């Protein structure tokens, strides 16, 4: 069911994991949610059915031309396209001593170039009654980098760099461009749930940051309260540390730093 009298949001990677939490939060807050997916059609459709107003859209974000076309189609369809949340991401391992060229190409495309192109198209074409919001989901690693997941981290630094530049280039005073930088939230790579109990507490508060906290932060940013160009960290203080490795490996090595 679609109710276009509601403000609309596009959440990339919005069917599962952190994107799914963000989609649910916007849906429960009264938004019309456009759930983007690539291969998770069933999850996207089931989530859409659970929300008061939602639809799904498929796109391979490795194809930035197709992603920009998707923005154009939605901009023509949605009368109050108030927010774009670029949450979709690839998280593949390579190391600082052995960059995987294909993994790097995929990461830089999906995690950085395509979200930048989508943000540009959205700010150029979307209509929104109370100003437009771009939310680029980055990572606390932009302030607390380590050598693991080299291409992923490189791509998130590149995405973070788009935030102040897009904010400065916006043509409308009511538009906002934000970064949202989560810490370790859900089990990732080859972790099991038990490992997250240790690794995800390696932050200043010694607590697990809940995915709902990131979703609520996305909703807050969609209100446009902060000055454009800001990045909000939701990581229980992890970005304030100087961690020499990814928390997956710090936990396995028994390191608490």
Give me the pLDDT at residue 179, please: 98
Task: Kindly tell me the sign of the dihedral angle through the C-alpha atoms of 66, 33, 24, 118.
Answer: positive
Name the H helices within the chain. Answer: 17-28, 41-50, 64-77, 101-108, 114-125, 150-169, 193-199, 211-222, 247-252
Question: CA–CA separation, 189 vs 238, rounded Å?
Answer: 19
Question: CA–CA separation, 82 vs 6, rounded Å?
Answer: 10
CB atoms within 10 A of CB 257: 9
Give yes or no for a contact between 244 and 257, defined as CB atoms under 8 angstroms apart: yes
23 to 187, 245, 255: CA distances (angstroms): 19, 31, 35
**Chain Cα centroid distance, residue 46:** 21
Give me the pLDDT at residue 206, please: 97
Give me the pLDDT at residue 124, please: 97
Tell me the whole-structure pTM to 2 decimals.
Answer: 0.96
Question: CA–CA separation, 197 vs 136, rounded Å?
Answer: 27
Task: Catalogue all structural domains in the chain, each as residue range(s) with its CATH number.
Answer: 8-252 (3.40.50.720)
Give me the pLDDT at residue 256, please: 64
Give me the pLDDT at residue 255, please: 75
Give me the pLDDT at residue 254, please: 83
Give me the pLDDT at residue 109, please: 98
Q: What is the mean pLDDT of each run of 10 residues along the chain (257 residues)?
A: 89 98 98 98 98 98 98 98 98 94 97 98 96 98 97 98 97 95 90 88 97 98 96 98 95 78
**Chain Cα centroid distance, residue 78:** 21
Give me the pLDDT at residue 184, please: 95
Question: CA–CA separation, 75 vs 174, rounded Å?
Answer: 17
């Amino acid at each position: 069911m679609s109710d276009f009298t509601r403000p609309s949001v596009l959440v990339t990677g919005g069917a599962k994991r952190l994107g799914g939490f963000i989609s649910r939060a916007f849906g429960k807050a009264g938004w019309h949610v456009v759930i983007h997916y690539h291969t998770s059609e069933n999850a996207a459709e089931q989530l859409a059915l659970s929300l008061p107003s939602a639809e799904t859209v498929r796109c391979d974000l490795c194809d930035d031309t197709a992603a920009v076309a998707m923005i154009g189609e939605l901009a023509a369809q949605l009368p109050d396209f108030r927010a774009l949340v670029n949450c979709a991401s690839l998280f593949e391992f390579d190391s600082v001593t052995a960059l995987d060229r294909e993994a790097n190409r995929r990461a830089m495309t999906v995690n950085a170039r395509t979200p930048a192109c989508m943000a540009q198209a959205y700010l150029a074409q979307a209509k929104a009654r109370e100003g437009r919001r771009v939310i680029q989901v980055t990572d606390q690693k932009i302030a607390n980098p380590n050598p693991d997941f080299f291409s992923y981290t490189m791509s998130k630094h590149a995405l973070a760099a788009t935030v102040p530049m897009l904010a400065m280039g916006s043509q409308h005073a009511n538009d906002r461009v934000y970064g949202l930088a989560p810490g370790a939230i859900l089990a990732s790579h080859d972790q099991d749930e038990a490992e997250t109990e240790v690794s995800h507490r390696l932050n200043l508060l010694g607590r697990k940051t809940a995915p709902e906290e990131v979703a609520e932060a996305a909703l807050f940013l969609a209100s446009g309260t902060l000055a454009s160009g800001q990045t909000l960290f939701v990581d229980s203080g992890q970005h304030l540390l100087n961690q020499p490795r990814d928390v997956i490996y710090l936990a396995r090595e028994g390191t608490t730093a």
